[in-house]
Chains A and B, each alone.
Chain A
Amino acid sequence: MTGAGLPRWAWLPFALAMALLVIPLAGLLARAPWARLGELLASDRSRDALLLSLATCAASTVICLILGVPTALVLARARGQWVAAARTLLTVPMVLPPVVAGLALLTTLGRRGLLGQPLAVLGVEIGFTTAAVVVAQTFVALPFLVVSLEGALRTAGTDMERAAARLGASPSYVLARVTVPLVAPAILSGTALSFARALGEFGATLTFAGSLQGVTRTLPLEIYLLRESDTDLALALAIVLLGVSALVVAAAARLGRTHG
């Protein structure tokens, strides 16, 4: 046993938690059509769903980074009553049931929505496009990046930042040369988390974007659809989804460690 502070009884809940989380995944792996995996994944609809998922998740993760890093900085550094309120508002999409997120987007950006109606007049219609998928994924994934990064920003770096500022560095220079390198592990793991969350997005995409092969039908939607008609292909795609998620999360943990 390692670590002086580890009480012996903690192993029991640990074992139960691992069993609860790992056994269903093992069950999925056991049922997977391994022998036909290559053939199943070579089909058009598998490829379309996988490529669409990867492309939209990459896009939404980039947007999450562009918007999320400065947002986390504001939440961590700004002072005032409103900061707590803003933090709560930003966290809500994280715990919102996916279908509610979809309805929220539909009533806002839909053709008859608050913003969607004026946009439609200008000829911009988001519904049923790949852009709608990216919007839905960003909506649910952005809070993960902001929340994980804000925590790191609050505990790291204020002394060094102050020192750099006293030496005459501008706030943007301090951000780029001091703050970002300090919280790089948190940025990486937050990015991975939001990518993984975007990859698993289902409800908001279904409610808001629709489902058309190669346009809006991402991996989770395709898995849900195939679950009834072609269980083997659904399981094969589930394995791919599981694999990509595991890869992303593991890579982030590793990168986070080496930078830390």
Chain B
Amino acid sequence: MATIGQRVGALVAVAALAGCGQPAQGDAPVVFAASSLSTVLPHLDDTARFSFDGSTGLLDQLRSGARADVFVSADHDTMLAAAEEGLLDGEPVMVATNRLVLVVPADNPASVTGFDGSLADTRLVVCAPEVPCGSGARRLAEAAGVRLDPVSEELKVTDVLGKVASGEADAGIVYATDAALASDAVTAMEIPGAAADPNTYWAGVVAQAPHPEGAEAFVAALAGPWQADLRAAGFGPPR
């Protein structure tokens, strides 16, 4: 199934070849995207070049003048900062949401029953409060009246997932897409209120993008035809 991005890329490549004998690099965009998209995006577009990192890390790189065409952040604040600092061309669009879930190792050694009192006295691992997944987890815990007493506050959500998947921790709080990636090693449980308070994913074209047309097409595809694929990877619809 050819995607819009691929079609545009192919068209531009053909035009370039026919027109002025440029190498068939085409208008394939350079995409700076949040790490949680690193599995799904390369499947959707095999011509684009990707750089995956934490959203704020990518913002830092854009600030330092990194040459990128598309920026996809895993939270609104980072995209807002990019827009306010004039790093974007046009308005960013919301392309997906991602809710937090509770994960336990497949054999659930601590017999966790859900986001409730059964988490007490388990080896619970969460993100640090400075990281979006950590602040979100604390918000949900407060709303549900559950006390979180983690043995570790990790720097990245993948570190939380790794510790649960390896059985080192009894439970962890990660995003639904992380849980979907490790579905053979972990069991996911819904957290009350999580679906109503998701992380939002935003995509925008970077100012002075070297490949503006490819960038526009990529963002349009994310907001349109690729939505089903994002859903299959565990992302929620934009709100």
A-side residues, CB < 8 A to B, are 106-107, 110-112, 127-128, 206-207, 210-213, 216-217, 221, 224-226, 228-230
> In the complex, A213→B134 CA distance in Å?
14
Which residues in B have their C-beta under 8 angstroms from that of A210?
Answer: 125, 151-152, 154, 163
Q: Nearest residue in A to B154 (C-beta to C-beta)?
A: A211
Q: Nearest residue in B to A213 (C-beta to C-beta)?
A: B153
Q: Nearest residue in A to B155 (C-beta to C-beta)?
A: A225
Q: Are A127 and B168 in contact (CB under 8 A)?
A: yes
> In the complex, A216→B123 CA distance in Å?
14
Confirm or deny: B210 has a beta carbon within 8 angstroms of a beta carbon on chain A: no
Which residues in B have their C-beta under 8 angstroms from that of A127?
Answer: 123, 168
A-contacting residues, B135-189, CB 8 Å: 150-155, 159, 162-163, 166-169
Knowing A128-B123, A225-B128, A228-B56, say if A112 contacts B153 (CB, 8 Å): no
Which residues in A have their C-beta under 8 angstroms from that of B131?
Answer: 225, 228
Tell me how far the C-beta of A44 lies from the nearest C-beta in chain B, rounded to whole angstroms. 14
Enumerate 25 A-B pairs (CB-CB under 8 Å) in ascending A order: A106-B166, A106-B168, A110-B167, A111-B167, A112-B166, A128-B168, A128-B169, A206-B155, A206-B159, A207-B159, A210-B125, A210-B152, A211-B128, A211-B153, A211-B155, A212-B150, A212-B153, A217-B153, A225-B128, A225-B130, A225-B131, A228-B56, A228-B57, A228-B130, A229-B130
Tell me how far the C-beta of B37 lies from the nearest C-beta in chain A, rounded to whole angstroms. 18
Tell me how far the C-beta of A168 lies from the nearest C-beta in chain B, rounded to whole angstroms. 54
> In the complex, A206→B154 CA distance in Å?
8
Tell me how far the C-beta of B131 lies from the nearest C-beta in chain A, rounded to whole angstroms. 8
Tell me how far the C-beta of B156 lies from the nearest C-beta in chain A, rounded to whole angstroms. 9
Q: Nearest residue in B to A221 (C-beta to C-beta)?
A: B155
Tell me how far the C-beta of A209 lies from the nearest C-beta in chain B, rounded to whole angstroms. 8
Q: Nearest residue in B to A228 (C-beta to C-beta)?
A: B56
Q: Nearest residue in B to A117 (C-beta to C-beta)?
A: B167
> In the complex, A128→B159 CA distance in Å?
13
Q: Nearest residue in A to B125 (C-beta to C-beta)?
A: A210
Knowing A212-B150, A229-B130, say if A224 contacts B166 (CB, 8 Å): no
Confirm or deny: B192 has a beta carbon within 8 angstroms of a beta carbon on chain A: no
Q: Nearest residue in A to B151 (C-beta to C-beta)?
A: A128
Q: Nearest residue in A to B129 (C-beta to C-beta)?
A: A229
20 further A-B contacts with Cβ under 8 Å, apart from A128-B169, A206-B154, are A110-B167, A110-B168, A111-B167, A112-B166, A112-B167, A128-B123, A206-B155, A207-B159, A207-B162, A211-B128, A211-B152, A211-B155, A212-B151, A221-B155, A224-B155, A225-B128, A228-B54, A228-B130, A228-B131, A230-B130
Which residues in B have their C-beta under 8 angstroms from that of A111?
Answer: 167-168
Q: Are B152 and A226 in contact (CB under 8 A)?
A: no
Tell me how far the C-beta of A259 lies from the nearest C-beta in chain B, rounded to whole angstroms. 41
From B54, B125, B128, B168, contact of A112 by CB (8 A): B168
Tell me how far the C-beta of B215 lies from the nearest C-beta in chain A, rounded to whole angstroms. 25
Which residues in A have their C-beta under 8 angstroms from that of B162?
Answer: 207
From A107, A110, A212, A224, contact of B152 by CB (8 A): A212
Tell me how far the C-beta of A67 lies from the nearest C-beta in chain B, rounded to whole angstroms. 26
Tell me how far the C-beta of A257 lies from the nearest C-beta in chain B, rounded to whole angstroms. 40
From B130, B153, B166, contact of A110 by CB (8 A): B166
Which residues in B have their C-beta under 8 angstroms from that of A213?
Answer: 153
Tell me how far the C-beta of B106 lies from the nearest C-beta in chain A, rounded to whole angstroms. 12
Q: Nearest residue in B to A216 (C-beta to C-beta)?
A: B152
Nearest 8 Cβ contacts at the A-B interface: A210-B152, A229-B130, A128-B151, A112-B167, A228-B56, A110-B168, A127-B168, A212-B152
> In the complex, A216→B56 CA distance in Å?
24
> In the complex, A217→B154 CA distance in Å?
9
Tell me how far the C-beta of A129 lies from the nearest C-beta in chain B, rounded to whole angstroms. 9
> In the complex, A207→B125 CA distance in Å?
13
Which residues in B have their C-beta under 8 angstroms from that of A226?
Answer: 130
> In the complex, A128→B153 CA distance in Å?
10
Which residues in A have their C-beta under 8 angstroms from that of B155?
Answer: 206, 211, 221, 224-225
Tell me how far the C-beta of A46 lies from the nearest C-beta in chain B, rounded to whole angstroms. 14
> In the complex, A92→B150 CA distance in Å?
34
